[in-house]
Amino acid sequence: MTCPKCNSENVNIQVINEQKLVTKHHGILWWICIGWWWIFVKWIFLTVPALIFAIFVGKRKKIKNVTKKKAVCQNCGNVFNLN
Ligand SMILES: [Zn+2]
């Protein structure tokens, strides 16, 4: 395992357990620039099909636990994804 940034082999691998369905907090600038249309686009492309899916398939909800491996370079501090 080598760091893609500095090619150092002094890399620490960490396993991070992430839970999706976590609400992200965005700054006010994000809402002004991206938020309003992004939510709109997301609502159309994600919520509507999700609702249709929920109606026809049923109310099976899953919280997805995603295990991610991340490597932290001890030399330059670069964090990069493995997989
Ligand atoms: Zn590095």
**Per-residue pLDDT, 55:** 80
CB 17, CB 63: distance < 8 Å: no
**Per-residue pLDDT, 42:** 80
In angstroms, the first-to-last Cα distance of the chain is 12
**Per-residue pLDDT, 22:** 57
**pTM assigned to the model:** 0.40
- For the domain spanning 1-21+63-83, the CATH number is 2.20.25
Q: Tell me how far the alpha carbon of residue 82 lies from the centroid of ligand 1, in angstroms.
A: 14
Q: Tell me how far the alpha carbon of residue 31 lies from the centroid of ligand 1, in angstroms.
A: 34
**Per-residue pLDDT, 15:** 82
What's phi and psi for 28, nearest 5 deg?
-65, -35
Q: Tell me how far the alpha carbon of residue 71 lies from the centroid of ligand 1, in angstroms.
A: 10
- Number of other CB atoms surrounding residue 79 within 10 Å: 12
Q: Of 16 and 1, which is predicted with more confidence?
A: 1
Q: Where are the domains of the chain?
A: 1-21+63-83, 26-61
Structure confidence by residue, pLDDT tens digits, 28-72: 777 777 777 777 788 888 888 888 877 877 656 667 777 888 899
Q: Tell me how far the alpha carbon of residue 13 lies from the centroid of ligand 1, in angstroms.
A: 13
Q: Tell me how far the alpha carbon of residue 11 lies from the centroid of ligand 1, in angstroms.
A: 8
Provide the b/e sequence for 10-38 (b: ≥16 CB within 10 Å): ebeeeeeeeeeeeeeeeeeeeeeeeeeee
